[in-house]
């Protein structure tokens, strides 16, 4: 039973990650490969605040969100001038830098040893711990995030993002402040990724830099592209599919030593197959050309 709730909890966390990445990739047309960096920033800020300063979870969460939004400016401001491949390189660089900070700033992040003993959240004296309780907790937060994303994307704000994705020049010629919208989209996506990070850190109670690597960013991008970018359904499909595949492998009795490699191969293969035969993903509206 705990096993199923554990997987469902991870699905909740990844739903927030993929839906927020979709705000960039699917709606704004900004292909980002640093989403795991913001996921990690959220996790680390809150883990450090709680283990070192003993701050309550519900204070640490907003601080992590704001921290992540502020750091998102480092990527979104250059993106104003950099287009296409150059923008992807910026996000790549950011991902590498953030990982290096996690790994090497030992006095703050404990580097490769990671931070252990991260306390579970407690709400009015009630400790949210164990897969079942945490599942419901993460479910509430992921539903709130889902609703939030849905509302902003259905609103005129979301329409302008789509317009920028389709034709930036025309959007400008119609009076849209493209710079402002891109910065806002990035801030929103980073804030939501930070929420996932916080949820993750306090669920597993131990984090180290290996959870927030470039591989992870590419994995998140695969979820969005295979599920389908540009609407809400796509990332939801993608998250369920790509998170359940490793569990199926487990049931097939594939030894733990080779399972991760097989998993990577399946992800890679899926990505190639989809890009070739169905570039818009399972349920997406938008394809990269």
Partner 1 sequence: MSNIVLKIDSIEKSFGGLKAVRDFSLFVNKGEILGMIGPNGSGKTTIFNIISGFLKPDKGKIYLNEIDITKLSPHIRADLGIGRLFQDVRVFKKLTVIENVLLAHKNHNIENLLAPFFKTKKIKNEKKKLTEEALKWLEFVGLKDKKDTIAENLSFGQQKLLALAIILFSNPEIILLDEPLSGLDPQMKNKVLALILKLKELGKTIIVIEHLLDFVFDISDRVILLNNGKKVYDGSPKGLQKNHLLMDIFTGNYAE
Point out which residues bind partner 1 (CB under 8 A): 151-152, 154-157, 159-160, 162-163, 166-167, 169-178, 184, 188, 230, 285-286
Q: Is the Cβ–Cβ distance between 5 and 131 less than 8 Å?
A: yes
Instruction: Work out how close the CB of 105 gets to partner 1 at its nearest, in angstroms, rounded to a whole number.
Output: 32
| Number of residues assigned to the chain | 289
Of 102 and 286, nearer to partner 1 (C-beta) is 286
Four-CA torsion 22, 26, 28, 29, nearest 10 degrees: 120
Question: Which residue, 133 or 287, has its beta carbon nearer to partner 1?
Answer: 287
Shorter beta-carbon distance to partner 1: residue 175 or 253: 175
123 sits in the region (left: phi over 0; alpha: psi -120 to 50; else beta) called beta
| Shortest distance (Å) from residue 201 CB to partner 1 | 27
Residues 273, 289: Cα–Cα separation, whole Å? 16
- C-alpha–C-alpha distance, residues 285 and 282, integer Å: 9
Least distance CB 96 / partner 1 (angstroms)? 29
Radius of gyration of the chain (CA): 19
Query: Angle 35-53/57-79 helices, nearest 10 degrees?
Result: 150
Residue number, 85 or 289, with CB nearest to partner 1 = 289
Least spacing, CB of residue 39 vs partner 1, in Å: 21
Q: At what angle do helices 84-104 and 57-79 cross, to 10 degrees?
A: 140
Structure tokens of 25? 């990739």
In this structure, what token pair is assigned to residue 218?
A: 């590419």
Quick check: 149 and 20 in contact, CB under 8 A?
Answer: yes
Residue spans of alpha helices (H) in the chain: 2-22, 35-53, 57-79, 84-104, 106-109, 130-154, 156-166, 168-173, 178-204, 214-227, 233-251, 259-277
CB of 232 to partner 1, least distance (A): 15
CB of 62 to partner 1, least distance (A): 16
- Looking at beta carbons only, is 36 or 185 nearer to partner 1? 185
| Nearest approach, Cβ of residue 276 and partner 1 (Å) | 21
Query: Would you say 27 or 99 has its CB closer to partner 1?
Result: 27
Shortest distance, position 182 Cβ to partner 1, whole Å = 12
Q: Which is nearer to partner 1, 140 or 151 (CB)?
A: 151
Cβ proximity to partner 1: between 18 and 231 the closer is 231
């Amino acid at each position: 039973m705990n096993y199923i709730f554990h997987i469902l909890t991870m699905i909740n966390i990844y739903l927030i990650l993929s839906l927020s990445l979709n705000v960039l990739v699917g709606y704004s047309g900004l292909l980002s490969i640093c989403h795991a960096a913001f996921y990690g920033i959220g996790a680390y800020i809150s883990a450090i605040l709680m283990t070192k300063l003993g701050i309550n979870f519900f204070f640490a969460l907003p601080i992590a969100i704001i921290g992540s939004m502020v750091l998102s400016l480092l990527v979104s401001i250059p993106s104003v001038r950099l287009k296409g491949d150059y923008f992807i390189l910026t996000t790549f660089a950011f991902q590498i830098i953030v990982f290096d900070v996690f790994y090497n700033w030992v006095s703050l992040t404990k580097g490769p040893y990671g931070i252990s003993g991260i306390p579970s959240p407690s709400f009015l004296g009630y400790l949210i711990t164990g897969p079942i309780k945490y599942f419901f907790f993460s479910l509430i937060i992921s539903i709130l995030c889902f609703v939030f994303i849905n509302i902003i994307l259905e609103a005129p704000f979301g329409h302008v993002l789509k317009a920028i994705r389709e034709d930036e020049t025309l959007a400008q010629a119609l009076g849209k402040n493209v710079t402002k919208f891109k910065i806002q989209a990035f801030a929103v996506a980073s804030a939501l990724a930070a929420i996932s990070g916080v949820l993750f850190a306090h669920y597993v109670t131990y984090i180290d830099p290996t959870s927030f690597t470039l591989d992870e960013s590419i994995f998140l991008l695969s979820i969005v592209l295979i599920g389908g970018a540009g609407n809400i359904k796509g990332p939801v499909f993608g998250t369920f599919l790509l998170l359940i595949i490793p569990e199926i492998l487990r049931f097939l009795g594939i030894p733990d030593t080779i399972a991760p490699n097989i998993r990577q191969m399946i992800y890679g293969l899926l990505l190639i197959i989809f890009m070739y035969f169905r570039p818009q993903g399972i349920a997406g509206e938008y394809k990269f050309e």
